[in-house]
Amino acid sequence: MKARSWISGLLVLGALAGGGWWWWQQQAAGVAPQLRTAKVERGTLTATVAASGTLAATVQVQVSSQVSGQIREVLTDFNAEVRKGQVLARIDPETFEYRVRQAEADLEAARAQVGVQQATLAARRSDLARARINYEEAIRDYDRKQDLVARNFISPAERDKARSVARALEQDVASAAAQIDLGEAQVRNARSTVQQREAQVASARVDLGRTVIRAPVDGVVIKRSIEPGQTVAVSLAAPELFLIAQNLRDMQVEVSIDEAEVARLRVGQRTTFTVDAFPGRNFEGAVMQVRKASKNEQNVITYTAVVSADNEQQQLLPGMTANVRIVTDVRNDALKVPNAALRFRPPGWSDAPKAAGLPTPVLAALSGWLPEAHAQAGAAPAAPAAPAAVNPTPAAPAEPRATPSKAGEARPAAAAPGGPGGGGQLAAFRQRLERELALTDAQRTQLDAIFGGMRERFMGLRDAPEGERAKLSERLRADMRAQIGEILDPAQKKKYAEILVELAGRSVARGRVFVPGPDGRPVPLELRLGLSDGAFTEVIAVTSGGRLEAGDPVYVGVLGGPNSPGPSGPSRPAGPRL
């Protein structure tokens, strides 16, 4: 009996589970995803780099002390305007006055020593003169005795003695002359000592003068770090006494730029910034310098950009935090799509290489949203009926769905001039040249011939080997730039070079959007993208065939359905997941 009741309970549970499964399948099949669309627009795109920095005076001078001592008096205060040479503070000069007196006394002693050495030199010169007189007398005595020896009036011994005396006196002359040289050297040494003592006196007077702290430049005192009675000790680093901003009417913002953004910055780019002290008010400036020295803070590399800031009304103060936006690029009359459209993928969408690896039942379940090329890549069975379109038209006849070009098929040639394809790029470039270079009629005719020949040469790249296309394309672009430059005058060439530099700095990326097909199903369009301002992105060209114009709808999200990923969609029925 108990076994029979267990079997009955299991049968009831199985029936309930089967019913729940059937109900979940019915709900899943009956709720179709509703997709949200937005319009493609045409207008101005402005790319900016946002960062924060600190306001500072263009020139800030730290006033320090070169001597140690006690502050006797402080003669200026915060926010005081000072002139160059104005006395700011004084250090007790007593010690330095005594040093000056000592140096002056040493100088007087050195000068007296010079007099002593000069007198000694004069005495030695007298000794030299006396030695020379004695030597001359000895020579005359020797000559007389030599004559007397020749006449045999005296013995040769007397002559020899006279010769020895003459030689001894000759050495006395040499010794006296050496003493003269020594005396002259001592006089020079004494005079050098005088010069040293004079330098010491000058140094002591300079140190005495340094006890008076003066303003090195005209400006405003924005910081004072000393008080009367405070002791200033000079060591390896001079202590900061005052900080003077030379001109608060011209300030600058030192902005920390992330390494990923620094390549977009150029000197002269327009900037705007705000400060918390004046909410809602924008201040203008320009990039003056992008410093090449990097900073590493917690493994984050940043570079410093210096932005000018006009402060004629002196409302901005040093140290304020500025939120800076640097305009790095601007596109006028650009075709732009919402960034949400570039991020959007229809429910169940998968790229062809991934779809090819999915099991057949899964592809069969998703094939209602997959384009034909993707469904065929996964060998999926025939697609079931399409889900409801965003704005379905009742009783509308079914039409073939537009699909992108399949692999192996030749993509269409450049779109017509003015379109989003390659021809559209050339046409937009030509229009910009006419507008900004003010071309003459003759130059326009030559430009038409250049662009016509280039269009044919670019179309011929389709037959080139895949690995050579990039190199050949760059060669053609360089040739076109050179041909255009040859028809311009010097002023136009300068402006043309600026345009080429600007275009060279623009990055190009690829993306995909989905547009409603003829039967309401999403159709992907592969795009070549340009500038982005965070909300919209510029469309340079459609690379997968088809067209995209201002006003065309693109899918940006899911409003409801079982595949709704966002919280705004209805709750998905519980059940097993594929």
Long-range Cβ contact pairs of 572-576 (< 8 A, separation 24 or more): 573/23, 573/24, 573/27, 573/28, 574/24, 575/20, 575/21, 575/24, 575/25, 575/28, 576/21
Residue at 164 is within a domain: yes
Q: What is the pLDDT of residue 237?
A: 78
Q: What is the pLDDT of residue 421?
A: 40
- Please give the average per-residue pLDDT across 15-31, as a whole number: 59
286/186 same-domain check: no
Residue at 551 is within a domain: no
Among 117-131, 502-516, 563-577, name the one with the lowest average pLDDT. 563-577
Residue at 411 is within a domain: no
84/225 same-domain check: yes
Q: What is the pLDDT of residue 185?
A: 92
Q: What is the pLDDT of residue 558?
A: 86
Q: What is the pLDDT of residue 423?
A: 52
Q: What is the pLDDT of residue 6?
A: 59
268/323 same-domain check: yes
104/164 same-domain check: yes
Most confidently modeled range among 64-68, 376-380, 503-507, 544-548:
64-68
C-beta neighbour count of 509 within 10 angstroms: 12
Total tally of structural domains belonging to the chain: 3
Most confidently modeled range among 196-205, 227-236, 502-511, 521-530:
196-205
Which runs of consecutive H residues, i.e. helices, occur in 399-462? 422-437, 441-459
CATH of the domain at 84: 2.40.50.100
255/289 same-domain check: yes
Residue at 230 is within a domain: yes
Q: What is the pTM of this model?
A: 0.55
pLDDT digits (tens, 9 = 90+) for 335-388: 999 999 999 988 877 754 443 444 433 333 333 333 333 333 333 333 333 333
237/248 same-domain check: no
CATH of the domain at 170: 1.10.287.620
Query: 475 pLDDT band (50/70/90 cuts)?
Result: confident
249/315 same-domain check: yes
Q: What is the pLDDT of residue 34?
A: 82
Q: Is the pLDDT of residue 148 over 90?
A: no
87/236 same-domain check: yes
Q: Is the pLDDT of residue 564 over 90?
A: no
237/250 same-domain check: no
Domain coverage including residue 250: 47-59+243-331
Type and span of the H or E element at 515:
strand 509-516
Q: Is the pLDDT of residue 200 over 60?
A: yes
284/204 same-domain check: no
pLDDT digits (tens, 9 = 90+) for 226-261: 999 999 988 777 889 999 998 888 899 999 999 988
Q: Is 545 left (phi over 0), alpha (psi -120 to 50) or beta?
A: left
- Please give the average per-residue pLDDT across 91-98, as a whole number: 94
Distances (CA, A) of 359 to 97, 371, 562: 98, 17, 21
Q: What is the pLDDT of residue 246?
A: 87
Crossing angle between the packed helical segments 156-209 and 94-150, to the nearest 10 degrees: 170
Distances (CA, A) of 199 to 196, 207, 242, 520: 5, 12, 30, 97
Query: 561 pLDDT band (50/70/90 cuts)?
Result: very low
Among 17-31, 321-335, 514-528, name the one with the lowest average pLDDT. 17-31
Higher pLDDT, 281 or 475: 281
